[in-house]
Structure 1
Amino acid sequence: MGNDSDTRVEPLRKPRKCPECGRPSTRENYPFCSDRCRQIDLSRWLTGSYAIPVAEDESKPGGEEQ
């Protein structure tokens, strides 16, 4: 083909801050900066550290409307 030094490859996504440490993300580990930060996040999901809060309405027994 041609000289690859003239070719610029645009990233598929713009770098974002890593949700774990704040460094710029990498293409291989997006949205994280490294495999270490990706594994830390996965571990938190698997151990239940991340949870979606649930608000239950105590006025309705069994959570059903009557």
Structure 2
Amino acid sequence: MTTPDETLPAAAPCPICGKPAAAAFKPFCSKRCADVDLQRWLSGRYAIPGREDDALSQEDEPSDD
């Protein structure tokens, strides 16, 4: 017979500090780690790299063809 703990998948660790995630702050372990993550998003630390503005303007200009 299996126990409920054996059937549940392992919880992912907190992405900020690596401690086990808490249900109330999932996927984080605490409000502090959730706030650290939010601050990183708001400050621009997490960003998706894009193309340079020069590359965009050259590709977006209509050609003379």
**TM-score scaled to structure 1, two decimals?**
0.65
Gaps of 5+ in 1: 1-7
What does residue range 16-31 of structure 1 map to in structure 2 within 5 Å?
A: 16-31=12-27
Match for residue 36 of structure 1 among 26, 29, 32: 32
Identity %: 44
Q: CA RMSD in A?
A: 2.6
**TM-score scaled to structure 2, two decimals?**
0.66
Gaps of 5+ in 2: none
What code does the residue aligned with 1:58 have? A
Higher helix share: 2
- In the alignment of these two chains, the number of paired residues is 55
